[in-house]
Homo-oligomer: A and B are copies of this chain.
């Protein structure tokens, strides 16, 4: 009956159940995957009734969507806020590109940086956005429409030496490196055996922005043929 997010009535019991479902689903989805996590696992771990999921979210798909929206919406709002800020008062000289890349990758890498436990789940889920198969992600991906429209345009202005094709390729590579950094953190910890610390958020952002800007800025491959 009340699948929407605004169920703020007088009682506090309702919102508590809703939040516990969201928190638990977020953790289990990250650990086990969307398809492999059953509603029974979620409601048992959360200590709520099975039917509460359908009451609050309508269906399992509705729950998935709610879990993602809770974190993606603020990230994309922050990205656009920074983009607006940097476009209004651009940095002098060459640091403009660094600002744009930072605005794109910073907010997602800094997500939940104060809560390491929740951060692990959220980042794992976000890193899996393009990997989770099926149509379940379509309603999540449309939340990035404005990002996909405004950021490439800004990059194009900052990198006038690139053709549209080259720019789109490099933005694609940039997204890949960022998503992998967001989602496959435990892999890096395990492989680097010490030196690289994905929990050091600012160092991660610094390394990633530096790498991406160098790749983005490099000469046009078409120009090489001249």
Contact = CB atoms under 8 A, between A and B. Distances in A.
A183 B179 CA distance: 12
A100 to B, nearest CB: 16
A165 B206 CA distance: 13
B221 A215 contact: no
Interface in A175-198: 175-181, 183-184, 187-188, 191-192, 195-196
A166 B131 contact: no
A164 B195 contact: yes
- Interface secondary structure of A, over-half rule: helix
Interface residues of A, number: 53
A61 to B, nearest CB: 13
Interface stretch (A9-17, A28-36, A78-86, A111-119): A28-36
A207 to B, nearest CB: 4
Given A134-B36, A177-B173, A207 B221 contact: yes
Interface of A: 30-33, 35-36, 127-128, 130-134, 148, 163-166, 168-170, 172-181, 183-184, 187-188, 191-192, 195-196, 204, 206-208, 210-218, 221
